[in-house]
Amino acid sequence: MKYTELEYIGRGTFGDVCRALDNATGGQVAIKKINLQELRKKELRVNELMVMKTNMNPNLVNYLDSYLVDGQLWLAMEYMDGGTLSDVISETYLSEDEMAAISRECLQGLDFLHSNLVIHRDVKSSNILLRTDGSVKLADSGLFAQLTPEQSRRSSVAGTTGWMAPEVVTGQPCGPKVDIWSFGIVGIEMVEREVPYWNETPVLPQLLIDIRGTPKLQQPNRFSPCLRDFLSCCLQTNEARRWSAKELLQHPFVTSAKPASTLVPLINSAKKEKKKTRM
């Protein structure tokens, strides 16, 4: 066996994820286990594998290997030892500088995908992984959609309730900017520590967006005009007015961001706090 399983991490889209040891190098990897017999849409797995293999980037959790084990497809990927952005949001508070650095890293990953005609379709804080060296990477390619120059939009509804763009909810043909809306919701998560309208059950967040319009910050004056404008550029209900990843990388909020290495204290602090809550 090439890998030795160390511990269960959690569940990603269509598969359990564990931390494992590469017996040849001694390094750690993450392995997603996909049961091919139970999976009705096997083409999704083939799609994920092909998109992962052809889209390697410093801001994406990169594919390493794949093989079959007892009727399961095991996908070996980079192991991110800093947990998820969702963990950081729940365990500590982020400064605007930290939000800007995380935004730049995520947008670099999205710009790479979109430039290669790929939509992520499930951008959310639990799918943004961190490493204790400050690295920030988009994860979980289970819902990736590969576009073509001839087919530049998708009509299928995919994603996670709360982060879905308005055009996804209403079933309109969608392009890469659905990821920008989702990242705008992540931006509000970083600021407010929760998803807009999330606690107002049983009404879905999407329906409240339809009724009340674009989510607003509860205390906008606590944050800089630059951050507020950045979020506004992401959260335009009219897709045509929503900025692209490439445009957002030129926004002053992002261009003024500090290096990703400045995130190390934040990531380590959140990791320690999470460890305390488990004890």
DSSP 8-state assignment for residue 198: T
Where would I find the H helices in the chain?
Answer: 42-54, 85-91, 96-115, 166-169, 177-192, 205-212, 225-234, 245-248, 252-255, 264-278
Residues 6+ apart with CB under 8 A from 69: 33
According to the per-residue pLDDT averaged within each range, which of 48-57, 147-156, 207-216, 242-251 is highest? 242-251
According to the per-residue pLDDT averaged within each range, which of 31-40, 194-203, 250-259 is highest? 250-259
Name the 3-class secondary structure at 127.
Answer: helix
**Residue 77 CB neighbours (<10 A):** 24
Active-site residue numbers? 122
Q: Whole-angstrom Cα distance, residue 32 to residue 120?
A: 18
Query: Is the pLDDT assigned to residue 165 strictly greater than 80?
Result: no
Residue 51 has what pLDDT?
61
Greater confidence (71 vs 85) lies with 85
According to the per-residue pLDDT averaged within each range, which of 23-32, 106-115, 134-143 is highest? 106-115
Instruction: Map out the domains of the chain as residue ranges.
Output: 3-78, 85-271
The CATH superfamily holding the domain 85-271 is Transferase(Phosphotransferase) domain 1 (1.10.510.10)
pLDDT tens per residue, range 243-266: 999 999 999 999 999 999 999 999
pLDDT tens per residue, range 181-190: 999 999 999 9
CATH ID of 3-78, from 3.30.200.20, 1.10.1740.10, 3.40.50.920, 3.40.50.720: 3.30.200.20
Phi/psi of residue 98, nearest 5 degrees: -70, -40
Q: List the 28-35 sheet strands across, edge first.
A: 3-12, 15-22, 28-35, 72-78, 63-69
Q: Name residue, tokens 């290669």.
A: 116
